[in-house]
Structure formats: C-alpha cells, structure tokens
C-alpha cells in the first residue's frame, strides 16, 4: 500500500474493499426485496454510518427517504458510555413509514436497544436494524438485527466510517488498530 500512514499504524486489514462491495450488494438486494411497495426511511447513526449508508442507499432500488440520528455513546477512545439521543431529524409523517436504522458496527447492542424503544414509541410501522459489522462476543443487550454485513472478532477496528478518536474514518477498507 502506497500511503502516508506510518508502517504499523494498522495491525491487519479485516475487510477489504472488494469484500465491502460484496456486502453492500447483498444487503441492498435484501432490503430492496423486503421493502418493495412500502414507504421506507433509512436512518443513519452519525457519524460512523456515513460511508456505509451512502454506498448502501445507492444500491437500493426503491424510492427511500433518508434521515439521521445523533447519539452519544463513545465519548472518546474505545470504551462505551451511556447512550443518549442528542438529535433526530424526526420527519412528521413517520406513522406511515417503515424505518431501518443503519450503523457502522454492532458492539454491545446498547445503542440499537435504546433506539428501538425510542422509535417504536414514535409510532413507526416497523423498526429494523442494519449494521455493517457485528462483534457478537461483546453483546450485552438483546436486539434483533435484520441485516448484518459480517461478523468480526473482538478487536477494535477503524476505516470505512469507523473511527478511533475521530481518525481513520476515510480509509477505504476496515483494519484493526495497534
Ligand atoms: P454499541 O451500542 O455498543 O453496540 O455500540 C456501537 C457503537 O460503538 C458504534 O456506532 C461505534 O461508534 C462504536 N464502536 C464499537 N466498536 C467499535 C470499533 O471496533 N471501532 C470503532 N467504533 C466502534
Ligand atoms: Mg457510532
């Protein structure tokens, strides 16, 4: 790799660009099939969702609407904190809509669990979840996630939207950090 990152910044590549393309294509097909004829909002959790979501929605062959939600979970570093909903660009017509919440990675499950209650209380027709990556070993909250890209081992990863203290989001692949 010809790059400005220092040798040794990353331990190893976990998900390559080619594998990412395959994951996006598969999930987009599943969503297109499952939501045909429905009014669908894809709602991304900021900021980690932004690259995955941008790629995903362009492969979904349905007239989807887009929304974002901001939650506080990781203050800094690698440890989770309390989940608080900071901002939801709520859309006032949600009662006729199905919603899929999209995130970069499913870790403890606390964020999805919190959002499930919040969005069901708002009256969406259905609330489902989509995570690009999944670390099943770390799960603490039981949540049913309808679409997942790939399971990974319990290690901290960056790239393709995922950050460590706001860095590395722009890597086109997913890597484990030192
Ligand atoms: P959960 O509520 O524990 O499932 O946390 C999910 C959130 O934790 C994701 O939206 C990420 O922001 C963050 N996260 C969890 N694992 C990683 C990782 O390996 N790299 C970067 N962010 C992570
Ligand atoms: Mg996040």
Q: 56: which residues sit within 8 A by CB, 6+ positions away?
A: 24, 27, 28, 31, 42, 102, 130
Q: Is the CB of 173 under 6 A from ligand 1?
A: no
40 versus 8: the higher-pLDDT residue is 40
Q: Is the CB of 174 under 6 A from ligand 1?
A: no
pTM above 0.75, yes or no: yes
Closest alpha carbon to 149 in 14, 7, 6, 34: 14
Tens-digit pLDDT profile for residues 87-137:
777 666 688 999 999 999 999 999 999 899 989 988 999 999 999 999 999
Please give the distance, rounded to the nearest whole angstrom, from the Cα atom of residue 106 to the centre of ligand 1.
6
72 versus 115: the higher-pLDDT residue is 115
pLDDT at residue 149, rounded to an integer = 98
Q: Is the CB of 40 under 6 A from ligand 1?
A: no
Domains of the chain: 17-155 (3.40.50.2020)
- Residues annotated as catalytic are 107
pLDDT at residue 79, rounded to an integer = 59
Task: pLDDT band for 4, please (50, 70, 90 cuts).
Answer: confident
| Whole-angstrom distance, CA of residue 52 vs CA of residue 101 | 12
pLDDT at 36 > cutoff 90: yes
Question: Hey, what are 153's tokens?
Answer: 């081992």
Task: pLDDT band for 77, please (50, 70, 90 cuts).
Answer: low
Can you tell me which atom of ligand 1 is nearest the CA of 162? 21
Q: How far is CA 127 from CA 14, 47, 163, 176, in A?
A: 29, 20, 26, 31
């Amino acid at each position: 790799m010809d790059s400005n990152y220092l040798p040794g910044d990353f331990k190893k590549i976990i998900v390559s660009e080619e594998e990412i393309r395959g994951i996006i294509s598969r999930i987009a097909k599943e969503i297109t099939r499952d939501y045909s004829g429905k009014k669908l909002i894809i709602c991304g959790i900021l900021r980690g969702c932004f690259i995955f979501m941008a790629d995903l929605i362009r492969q979904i062959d349905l007239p989807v609407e887009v929304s974002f939600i901001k939650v506080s979970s990781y203050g800094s570093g690698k440890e989770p904190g309390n989940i608080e909903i900071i901002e939801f660009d709520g859309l006032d017509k949600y009662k006729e809509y199905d919603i899929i919440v999209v995130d970069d990675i499913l870790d403890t499950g606390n964020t999805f669990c919190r959002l499930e209650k919040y969005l069901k209380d708002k009256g969406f027709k259905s609330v489902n979840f989509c995570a690009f990556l999944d670390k099943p070993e770390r799960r603490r909250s039981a949540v049913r996630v309808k679409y997942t890209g790939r399971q990974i081992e319990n290690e901290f990863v960056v790239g393709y939207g995922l950050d460590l203290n706001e860095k590395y989001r722009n890597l086109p692949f997913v890597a484990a950090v030192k």
